[in-house]
């Protein structure tokens, strides 16, 4: 046997065994088994051998050696493929790359409110924000001398005046949708929610000149205070949590009779009015006001072309900002529309 070949093969065994990385190993593999590799060379030389006996012995020898080397190679390769390499540095540092944006809190609240009402068969629809006085007031049983209709409570808009419907206003509430929806559908049943921008000329810690309200309107045969209570309490529990209690208190709105203020038990002091720091600063004696509601006033049904001796209904109107501020614990309503991103982003 050619000792030169033997020592070469032995060298390859050692190289394979000592390869320092998978890349090295593959390089050596090519050197040995590649098209222009050592074995290719050996078999080429063998082909020219004229001594048949020698050719046979050599051939068998080469194949055995080849298998041995293949074996050494795959063993070493397996070692690499199974090995967990050490890493340099801390693998637990946070990643960097493209950042998420953010949805406005009002959008999130709207989405949640929609979902809650949609489960019980209420559909959403929308109505004008720039509205005739008629739909924002007269149709809602609010006569011309009502204080809510003066310059201090309602924004008026320069522009055409309708003989039938009066001046243009920025609607101060979503209730303008009530009579519009009655007229649009023609007859009950109605199961509407209206989520929209409303405007009032106030600007302080708890008031912004533009806010969002959501309005619910249910008109059908046999609708009573029981139904209003059931639905208000359903919403409060779904939105704020199942342990939240609801109560109705007497109130006064022109377009509902009876009218109620809807309160929920305070989610910060669990309705006790007291926190670890002392008196709860968020609620009044354990209760938080959500907004107004009531049975639809017969005059409003009449304005909507609905016979109040056959049908009755309930309605409510809550401020989205109000419920969002309660739920997400926002202290100053103006932050919602200041456009200052420091409330949203870290600088």
Residues 157-186 that bind another protein (CB under 8 A): 157-160, 162, 168, 170, 184-185
State yes or no: residue 259 binds another protein (CB under 8 A): yes
State yes or no: residue 191 binds another protein (CB under 8 A): yes
Residue in 78, 2, 67, 73 with CA at minimum distance from that of residue 39: 67
CB of 328 to another protein, least distance (A): 14
User: Considering only residues 42, 113, 190, 269, which one is a binding residue for another protein as defined by CB under 8 A?
Assistant: 190
CB of 280 to another protein, least distance (A): 11
- DSSP of 43-74, one letter per residue? HHHHHT---HHHHHHHHHHHHHHHHHHHHHHH
User: Considering only residues 26, 46, 106, 330, which one is a binding residue for another protein as defined by CB under 8 A?
Assistant: 106
Give me 268's structure tokens: 């910060």
State yes or no: residue 302 binds another protein (CB under 8 A): no
Rounded-to-integer distance, Cα 269 and Cα 281, Å:
9
User: Considering only residues 47, 81, 100, 205, which one is a binding residue for another protein as defined by CB under 8 A?
Assistant: 100
User: Considering only residues 26, 46, 183, 225, which one is a binding residue for another protein as defined by CB under 8 A?
Assistant: 225
Number of residues that bind another protein (CB under 8 A): 90
CB of 212 to another protein, least distance (A): 8
Q: Using the minimum distance from each CB to another protein, give the nearer residue, 39 or 127.
A: 127
User: Considering only residues 89, 94, 95, 98, which one is a binding residue for another protein as defined by CB under 8 A?
Assistant: 98
CB of 312 to another protein, least distance (A): 7
Residue in 233, 213, 221, 227 with CA at minimum distance from that of residue 310: 221
Question: How many angstroms from the chain centroid is the CA of residue 118?
Answer: 17
CB 254 within 8 A of CB 347: no
State yes or no: residue 90 binds another protein (CB under 8 A): no
Give me 121's structure tokens: 């068969």
Residues in the chain: 347
Residues 5-64 that bind another protein (CB under 8 A): none
CB of 153 to another protein, least distance (A): 10
Contacts of 214 (CB under 8 A, 6+ apart): 110, 113, 174, 193, 194, 195, 317, 318, 320
- Compose the 261-300 pattern: x for residues touching another protein by CB under 8 A, - for all others: x----------------------xx---------x-xx--
- Compose the 303-322 pattern: x for residues touching another protein by CB under 8 A, - for all others: ---------x-x--------
- Compose the 116-155 pattern: x for residues touching another protein by CB under 8 A, - for all others: ----xx-xxxx-xxxxx------------x-x--xxx--x
**Residue matched to tokens 């022109």:** 254
DSSP code at position 213: E
Q: Using the minimum distance from each CB to another protein, give the nearer residue, 34 or 305.
A: 305
Q: Please provide the distance, in angstroms rounded to a whole number, between the alpha carbons at the two ends of the chain.
A: 77
Q: What SS3 string covers 129-155?
A: CEEEHHHHCHHHCCCCCCHHHCCCCCC
User: Considering only residues 251, 268, 302, 335, which one is a binding residue for another protein as defined by CB under 8 A?
Assistant: 251
Residue in 130, 177, 126, 137 with CA at minimum distance from that of residue 155: 130
User: Considering only residues 25, 58, 248, 266, which one is a binding residue for another protein as defined by CB under 8 A?
Assistant: 248
């Amino acid at each position: 046997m050619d000792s030169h070949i033997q020592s070469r093969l032995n060298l390859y065994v050692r190289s394979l065994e000592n390869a320092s990385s998978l890349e090295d190993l593959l390089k050596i593999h090519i050197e040995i088994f590649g098209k222009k590799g050592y074995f290719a060379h050996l078999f080429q030389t063998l082909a020219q051998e004229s001594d048949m006996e020698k050719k046979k012995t050599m051939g068998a020898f080469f194949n055995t050696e080849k298998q041995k080397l293949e074996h050494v190679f795959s063993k070493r390769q397996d070692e690499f493929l199974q090995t967990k390499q050490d890493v340099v540095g801390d693998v637990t540092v946070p990643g960097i790359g493209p950042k998420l944006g953010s949805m406005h809190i009002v959008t999130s609240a709207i989405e949640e409110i929609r979902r809650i009402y949609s489960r019980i068969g209420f559909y959403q629809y929308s109505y004008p924000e720039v509205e005739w006085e008629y739909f924002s007031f007269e149709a809602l049983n609010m006569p011309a001398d009502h204080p809510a209709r003066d310059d201090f409570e309602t924004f008026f808009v320069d522009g055409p005046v309708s003989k039938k419907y009066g001046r243009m206003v920025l609607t101060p509430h979503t209730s303008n949708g009530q009579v519009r929806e009655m007229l649009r559908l023609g007859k009950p049943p109605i199961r509407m929610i209206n989520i929209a921008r409303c405007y009032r000329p106030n600007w302080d810690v708890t008031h912004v000149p533009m806010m969002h309200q959501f309005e619910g309107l249910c008109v059908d045969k046999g609708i009573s205070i029981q139904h209003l209570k059931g639905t208000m309490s359903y919403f409060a529990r779904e939105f704020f949590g199942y342990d939240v209690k609801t109560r109705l208190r007497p109130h006064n709105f022109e377009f509902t009779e009876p009218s109620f203020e809807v309160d929920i038990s305070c989610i910060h002091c669990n309705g006790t009015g007291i926190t670890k720091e002392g008196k709860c600063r968020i609620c009044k004696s354990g209760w938080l006001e959500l907004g107004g509601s009531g049975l639809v006033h017969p005059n409003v049904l009449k304005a909507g072309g609905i016979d109040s001796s056959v049908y009755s209904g309930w309605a409510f109107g809550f401020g989205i900002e109000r419920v969002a501020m309660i739920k997400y614990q926002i202290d100053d309503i103006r932050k919602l529309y200041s456009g200052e991103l420091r409330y949203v982003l870290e600088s």
